[in-house]
Amino acid sequence: MRYGYKASAEQFPPRRLLDLAIAAERAGFESVWTSDHFQPWRHTGGHAPNALVWLGAAAQATERVTLGTSVLTPTFRYNPAVVAQAFATLGCLAPGRVILGVGTGESMNEKPVGVEWPDQKERFARLREAVTLIHRLFEEEFVTFEGEYYKTHAATIYDKPDESVPIYIAASGPAAARLAGRIGDGFICTSGKGEELYTETLLPALQEACTRVDRDPDTIDRMIEMKVSFDPDRARAMEDTKVWSALALSGEQKMGVEDPREMEQLAKGVEDIAHERWLVSDDPDEHVEQVATYVGYGFEHLVFHFPGEDQEAAIARYSELILPRLRARFG
């Protein structure tokens, strides 16, 4: 089991976010993951520091934690060859401590910079092709690639780490989970979406893909972002989730919304149910049981996302009351 911290770039400015990563490392978390947004989920108090720049700083400011993106989209704003170059550089700066987490993306991060947002079928095809190209650039010297969406001509990444950067693939459906099983080093999803999604869809799809390509599924890191609000004051724990009320919007409600001001306005209408996407508790033992449910599903890398403004307090509470209990129970 590994336990990580989500450095939420939509919620905090870059220097504060860096301080939180350092605090998480000191508190005993084993990984730190940052989001890669061009636009945040809300306008008021929203932030969107560049993930690649921030990870370079984090690589130097920390000593042992694994650093990764959860997740970056290597298909629109970024050319996948440039993503490969950037993460190879990060791998040189923090050897063995960098992971590239990728996904198909969100229109709110791409359309504002002029991207024509395609359907899910094309987004998935682009992701599959991009990961294939990035793998080749990591592993080969001169790469000429003729894909449907991306091309390279004798491209070389001149500065590569001795240990290749792992690629984790985010999945909210079976196709992406199968892709992770075929060509990913890890798999990423988020909590709070109902047991059936994990036990009957995502993890079985991952297992099925591994079987088909003769891979040992235990070699794939099964990571999940755990949305947790733990506070001795239960009212405070509930209130903190409201800053992330946009997560309670349905896919239909969020469809086509690219402006953080509009998203913020829509989110106000679901503040009272924002807590439903979070594991909310004021009791350490109860909270460990909540987390244990996901361990039971089969996840082995838990990355904790705290909703409130006082992240330092949340990190300290977890270090004192939750991580020791989890390690005693699960290792």
Task: Report the predicted TM-score, pTM, of the whole model to 2 decimal places.
Answer: 0.96
Predicted confidence (pLDDT) at residue 253 exceeds the cutoff of 90: no
Predicted confidence (pLDDT) at residue 252 exceeds the cutoff of 90: no
- Output the DSSP codes for 78-93: S-HHHHHHHHHHHHHH
Using alpha carbons, list the distances in angstroms from residue 11 to 7, 16, 283, 307.
9, 10, 26, 9
pLDDT tens figures, 108-164: 999 999 999 999 999 999 999 999 999 999 999 999 999 999 999 999 999 999 999
Residues involved in catalysis:
37, 106
Distance of CA 292 to the CA centre of its chain: 20
pLDDT tens figures, 87-124: 999 999 999 999 999 999 999 999 999 999 999 999 99
In angstroms, the CA 17 to CA 19 distance is 5
Structure tokens at 114: 């002029």
Predicted confidence (pLDDT) at residue 255 exceeds the cutoff of 80: no
Residues forming a β-bridge with 146: 151
**How many CB atoms are located within 10 Å of the residue 151 CB?**
12
Parse the chain into domains and list their residue ranges: 2-237+278-330
Residues 6 or more apart whose Cβ sits within 8 Å of residue 245: 267, 268, 270, 271, 273, 274
Q: Are 156 and 142 in contact (CB under 8 A)?
A: yes
Question: If you average pLDDT over residues 215-241, what whole number do you get?
Answer: 97
HSE-up of residue 82 (Cα within 13 Å, Cβ side): 9
CATH topology classification for 2-237+278-330:
TIM Barrel (3.20.20)
